[in-house]
Amino acid sequence: MKNVMGIINLMEDEEFLKEISHHRPAAAVPFGGRYRMIDFVLSNMVNSGIRNVGIIVQHKYRALMDHLGNGKEWDLDRKRDGLFYLPPGQGCQQGSYRWDLRHFHTHLDYLQYSRQKYILISGSNMICNIDYRDAFQFHQAMNADITILYKDMENTGEDLSRCHMVETAEDGRIIDLEINPNKMRGSKMSMEMCIMEKSLLVELIHRCYSRGECDLVRDGFIRNLNRLRIYGFPYQGYLAHIDSIQSYYNHSMELLRPEIWQQLFFDKGLIITKVKDGAPTKYSKGSRVHNALIANGCIIEGTVENSIIFRGVKIGQGAHIKDSIIMQKCKIEEGALVENVIADKEVTITKGKHLKGEKNYPMVIMKKTVI
């Protein structure tokens, strides 16, 4: 994989996570007790042997830079290659959308200076633990121009209306690709991850740009389905596709299943995140914890049930947390009752307050709110 570079594209509609993505890009949204969404794709790339990663960032990326820094935790603080931030170019701020080619066009220099022959492009909201080497081998074995990773979502009951759907022939070649289709014909969801030669990407960028076309997926891929050999690589492992508060909540709760915990956090490699040097979590004599994921640095004196507790949370005596996601440094004071709630960082729920959302409509509390 020495010959592959990675691009993580964070151009996305950030309203879908409502309050928790108000002040940060979706990629920096906390997930799984101690991670940010971007940790998964970045760790997967590093664990697969990729040593050069560029991140196309939108506005509001301070939280992201704070988290990733110079990439040291991921071993990407390198003399050559390493981690690169690719900020929006002039005029790209307004009216840009997810696979807008202008963002790639702005950073053609970075693409061309990089020494790798191949490029792997991904978003950050498909959470999984994948070894990209398998997909890369497939790409070479198929002699493909482009390989798109997909996951068969049959019988998962997931809402696929905001996805890219692919249809493949028997040999794996993609014969159709639809963006947000109205009517579902198949169940193969594109993971919005693809592999190709860098020279082909550069060619597509120039080709589209000069014709006034502007979308990598629509103008670059779909229009070239016949001209280029585009293949689909089926991913078999666990996948959490996060595109709404509801899917964020549901997939978070799935982590309470030990087999999924094991698969997502250990399977192909460890998911890396920024280290906080917190002490181990302390359980008091009277604490009661059942079916919960709990990160370091917490002090738990109350009851926690079916919940995800991030780093540095304090839960007072007699407080009861149920079916909730409590992010970093929240304080749940004595006797408070919290059910079906997503509390962003540093929220305080004062003594004796009762807060209750619904399972299919969890209550979201903004960062630093005191209730």
Partner 1 sequence: MQSKECVAMLLAGGQGSRLGVLTKKLAKPAVPFGGKYRIIDFTLSNCNNSGFDTVGVLTQYQPLALNTYIGIGSHWDLDRKNGGVTVLPPFVKEMGGEWYKGTANAIYQNIEFVDQYRPKYLLVLSGDHIYKMDYSLMLDFHKEKQADATIAVIEVPWEEASSFGIINIARDARIIDFEEKPAVPKSNLASMGVYIFNWELLKKYLEEDEQNPRSSNDFGKNIIPMMLKVGQRMYAYPFKGYWRDVGTIESLWQANMDLLSDKPKLNLNDPKWTIYSVNPNHPPQYIAPTARVTGSLVNEGCMVYGEVNHSILFPGVYIGEGAKINDAVIMPNAKIGANTVIERAIIGVEAVIEDRCQVGCLDEACGRCSEPCSRITVVEGNIVVAGGSVLKSCSLAKNELTVRSS
Binding site for partner 1 (CB under 8 A): 32-34, 72, 256, 258, 261, 264-266, 270-273, 275, 277-297, 299, 304, 308-310
Residues 196 and 118 sit within 8 Å (Cβ to Cβ) = yes
Residue 309: CB minimum distance to partner 1, A? 7
Nearer of residues 297 and 316 to partner 1, judged by Cβ: 297
Judging by beta carbons within 10 Å of its beta carbon (0-12, 13-18, 19+), is residue 171 exposed, middle or buried? exposed
Residue 98: CB minimum distance to partner 1, A? 29
CA distances to 75, 169, 171 from 175, rounded to whole Å, are: 39, 6, 11
Tokens, residue 90: 């002039």
Nearer of residues 78 and 354 to partner 1, judged by Cβ: 78
Q: Is 235 strand, coil or helix?
A: coil
Residue 279: CB minimum distance to partner 1, A? 4
Residue 289: CB minimum distance to partner 1, A? 5
Nearer of residues 286 and 352 to partner 1, judged by Cβ: 286
Nearer of residues 31 and 61 to partner 1, judged by Cβ: 31
Specify the pairing of strand 331-332 against strand 320-322.
unpaired
Residue 69: CB minimum distance to partner 1, A? 13
Residues 264 and 127 sit within 8 Å (Cβ to Cβ) = yes
Residue 319: CB minimum distance to partner 1, A? 16
Specify the pairing of strand 188-197 against strand 146-152.
antiparallel
By C-alpha distance, which of 179, 113, 177, 125 is closest to 146? 177
Nearer of residues 193 and 264 to partner 1, judged by Cβ: 264
Nearer of residues 108 and 256 to partner 1, judged by Cβ: 256
Q: Is 110 strand, coil or helix?
A: helix
